[in-house]
Structure 1
Amino acid sequence: MSVQLKLDNVETYIGQYHILQGISFEVRKGEVTVLLGRNGAGKTTTLRTIMGLNPASKGTILYNDEPIQTLPTYTIAQKGIGFVPEDQGIFSELTVEENMKVAIKKDNDETKERLHYILDLFPDLKKFWKKHGGLLSGGQKQMLSIARAYVNDNDVLLIDEPSKGLAPIVVEKVMESIMQMKDKTTIVLVEQNFMMASTIGDRFYIIDDGKTVQNGPMEILKEDHDMRRKYLGIA
C-alpha cells in the first residue's frame, strides 16, 4: 500500500513556544490514520503544520513524494489535501447551499457526483439546504464542514476532532459517514473519543509533548491497556 503523506522529524514553533519537537509518521493510501494524545500534546498543530498554517521550522513533509513544507496553504490545498478544522470553519451567514458553492473548486460532473454522494451521506444538509450555517445544530455544522472538504477531489482529508461537543447519537452518524468516505479518500483523524478512533482507525500514532512516541495497527492499541493508560489516560 503506497504512502501518500509522510512527516519526518517535523518541528514547529508558535511564537516562542516549541510545540512540535519531532513528529514522524506515514499515511497510507486508503487508510484512516489516527493521531492520539492528551490535550496539548500537539495533534492540532500537526494538522495545521501539514496545511502550512503553522510553518514547520525543521523536518520534511512529503505528499506523494513531493516536499510541501515550504509551500503556502492555498497551494497545498490545490494539490489535493482537504482540512476540516476543529472549529468547523463554516460561514455562519451563508446558507448550506452557499457554503458548498464557495467550497467547490471545479464545477464539473465529478464534483456534482461527489456532491450527490455527500448529500445522501448527510441528508440533514439536503433538508436544510436553504438554511443559514449559523442556525444549524452542532452535529449539522460538523457534517457541513466535512462535506465542504470532501466535495472536492481531495486525495487526503485531515479531520480535527469531529466528535467534539456532539451527542452520542450524532457521533455515531459522523463515525459511520467517515467509515464510508474511507473507501474513496485517505483520512488523517485527530480524535479524543477512543471508541470512535479505535472503531474507524486502521493505524495509530501517539503524540506526547510534541513527539511521536508510539505507533502501529489499531488492534495493538486496543489490546494494550498499559499504553492507553500511560499516554491517553484511559483504561
Structure 2
Amino acid sequence: MSELLKLNAVETYIGQYHILQGVSLEVKKGEVTVLLGRNGAGKTTTLRTIMGLNPASKGAITYKGEDIKKLPTYLVAKKGIGYVPEDQGIFADLTVEENMKVAIQKDNQETLDRMDWILDLFPDLKKFWKKPGGLLSGGQKQMLSIARAYINNNELLLIDEPSKGLAPIVVEKVMESIIQMKEQTTIVLVEQNFMMASTIGDCFYIIDDGRTVSHGVMNQLKQDADMRRKYLGIA
C-alpha cells in the first residue's frame, strides 16, 4: 500500500505552549491509522496541525508527496482531506439538509449518489432532514459531522473522538459506519475507546507528551499489556 500522508518530526506551538515536540507518522492508503495516548498528549493538535488550524513550526507534512505544511485550511481541504472535529462542528441553526449542502464542494451525480449512500448508512439523518442540527441528539450530531466530511469523496478523513460522550449502543452504530467507510477511503482516527480503536484500526501510533513514542500494527498493541498500561493507562 502506498503512503498517503506523512509527518516528520512535526512541532507545533499554541500560543506560548509547545504542544507537539516531535510527531512522526505515516498513513498508508486504504488503512485506518489510530492515534492513541493519554488526554493532553497532543492527538487533537496533530489533526489540527495537518489541517493547518494550528500551523506547524518545524518538521514536514506531506500529502500524496506534496508539502502541505504551510497551506491554509481551505486549501488543505481542497486537496481531499476531510476533518471531523472533536466538537463536531455542525451548524446548529441550519437544517440537516442545509448542513450537508454547505459542505458539498461539487454538486454532480457522483455527489448525489454518495448522498444516497450516506442516508442509507445514517437513516436518522434522513428522518430529521428538515430539522435544525441543534435539535439532534449527540449521536445524530456525530453522524452528521461524519457525513459532512464524507460527502466530498475525500481520499483521507481525519476523525477526532467520534465516540466521545455517546451511549454504548450509539458508539456501536458509529463504529459500524466507520468500518463501512474504510472500504472506500483512508482514515486517521483519534479515539480514547480502546475497544473501538482496536476493532477499527489497522495500525497505531502512540503520542506521549507531544512526541511519537511507539507504532505498529494494531494486533501487536492488543497483545502488549505492558505498553497499553504504560502509555494508555489500561490493562
Write out per-residue CA displacement over residues 92-142 of structure 1, whole angstroms, 9 at most, x where no aligned residue. Answer: 000000000000010001111111111100000001101110000000000
What letter matches 2:184 in structure 1?
A: K
Structure 1's consecutive aligned runs of 4 or more residues displaced over 3 angstroms after TM superposition are none
Structure 2 distance, partners of 1:49, 1:183, is 26
Written as runs of structure 1 = structure 2, the 5 A alignment for 1:1-235 is 1-235=1-235
Stretches of structure 1 lacking an aligned partner (at least 5 in a row): none
* Helix, strand or coil at the partner of 2:166: coil
Structure 1 distance, partners of 2:166, 2:159, is 15
Structure 2 distance, partners of 1:66, 1:167, is 40
* Helix, strand or coil at the partner of 1:112: helix
* Helix, strand or coil at the partner of 1:25: strand
Structure 2 distance, partners of 1:153, 1:176, is 19
Give the number of aligned pairs: 235
* Helix, strand or coil at the partner of 1:207: strand
Structure 2 distance, partners of 1:227, 1:30, is 26
Identical columns (%): 81
Structure 1 distance, partners of 2:35, 2:119, is 27
CA RMSD of aligned residues (A): 0.4
Structure 2 distance, partners of 1:114, 1:187, is 17
Structure 2 distance, partners of 1:110, 1:188, is 24
Write out per-residue CA displacement over residues 36-94 of structure 1, whole angstroms, 9 at most, x where no aligned residue. Answer: 00000000000000000000000000000000000110000000000000000000000
Write out per-residue CA displacement over residues 150-186 of structure 1, whole angstroms, 9 at most, x where no aligned residue. Answer: 0002100000000000000000000000000001110
Structure 2 distance, partners of 1:225, 1:116, is 42
| TM-score with structure 1 setting the length | 1.00
Structure 1 distance, partners of 2:165, 2:61, is 31
* Helix, strand or coil at the partner of 1:107: coil
| TM-score with structure 2 setting the length | 1.00
Q: How far apart are 1:29 and its partner, in Å? A: 0.5
Stretches of structure 2 lacking an aligned partner (at least 5 in a row): none
* Helix, strand or coil at the partner of 2:107: coil
